[in-house]
Amino acid sequence: MSQLVRKVERPPRLIDEEGRRADGRKVDELRRIKIEVGVLKNADGSCYLEQGRNKIMAAVYGPRELHPRHLAMPDRAILRCRYHMVPFSVLERKSPAPTRREIELSKVIREALEPAIFLEYFPRTTIDVFIEVIQADGGTRCAGITAAAVALADAGIPMRDLVAAIAVGKVEGQLVLDPMDLEDRYGEADMPVAMMPSLGKITLLQADGLMTLEEFEKALELAMRGIKEIYNKQKEALREKYLAIKREVEVT
């Protein structure tokens, strides 16, 4: 990967004549995604995800006993989420204390993951999800959801489906898949979407900026295409953890 960008300056054009974006991608192209499963020894499930310059670590603990006890639900587990950006994840140092933005994103991510989990299987317990953004370059809430879903599956928690997420942006009047920080900053719109792909259910849909109805419909279609691609990467990464062991011992 290229060096970290020191200054975020608006290039003269965000999309050139050939339809190439600032980092050389086409408008409907995702950033390079790398997913590793089971990277943390002490967590029940974990996932490390790279999406372009985004670097995210997700850890899942549970189902486990809940403290304080009065938060427990008699008929199901509760899901707790923490989305956090480490101080060195952005160009200007970010205070490690949770900001309003991080608190809101934690809630939004929790609500995007909740419908996928069979919480009623483990009454009176908690499932804790920690998402640490180690390096941020736009679209970290989506990358966080993608990573957290893989970590949940790795923890062996019963789920209806994995959750995959991606954002669609609008830059210089054109819809772009998976906008990076630069495009988010100078674009006209940003729409994060999270889905349970095999069930075809949307669990998160946010949007800010201006889009026409036709643009919105096109954007959603574009997001679904991106999500399908990410979903395949998630499944592949989960299987790979066990297939690697199998390959190693069965050939010899």
Partner 1 sequence: MAVYFTQREIVVPGQLLAKGPYQLGSNVYKVGNAIYSSIIGLAELKDRAIHVIPLKCCYVPKVGDIVIGKVIDVGISHWTVDIASPYSAILQVSDAFNKVIDTTREDLTKYFDVGDFLVAKIIAFDRTRDPLLSTKEPKCGKIDRGTVVEISPAKIPRLIGKKGSMINMIKKEINCQILVGQNGRIWIYAENPEDELLLVRVIKRIELEAHTSGLTDRIREMIRREKSRRGNVVSASKKGRKAS
Binding site for partner 1 (CB under 8 A): 44-45, 62-65, 74, 116, 118, 121-125, 153-162, 196-199, 234-235, 238-239, 242-243, 245-246, 249-250
Q: Which of 61, 43, 12 is nearest to 182 (CA)?
A: 12
CB of 61 to partner 1, least distance (A): 11
- Decide whether 5 or 72 has the Cβ nearer to partner 1: 72
Q: How far apart are CA 232 and CA 143, in angstroms?
A: 14
Say what the alpha-carbon torsion angle 89, 94, 99, 100 is, to the nearest 10 degrees. Answer: -80
Q: Which is nearer to partner 1, 214 or 250 (CB)?
A: 250
How far is the C-alpha of 46 from the C-alpha of 103, rounded, in Å? 21
- Distance between CA atoms of residues 56 and 47, nearest Å: 8
Residues 75, 191: Cα–Cα separation, whole Å: 34
Q: Minimum distance from CB of 156 to partner 1 (Å)?
A: 3
CB of 28 to partner 1, least distance (A): 25
* Complex with partner 1: residue 80 or 218, whichever CB lies closer: 80
Cβ atoms of 203 and 162 within 8 Å: the answer is no
> Closest approach of Cβ 246 to partner 1, in Å?
5
As a whole number of angstroms, the distance between CA 230 and CA 240 comes to 15
- 83 DSSP β-pair partners: 131
* Shorter beta-carbon distance to partner 1: residue 92 or 250: 250
Hey, which residues does 91 pair with through a beta bridge?
Answer: none
| C-beta of 225 vs 235, nearer to partner 1 | 235
DSSP 8-state class, residue 52: T
Shortest reach from residue 157's CB to partner 1, in Å: 8
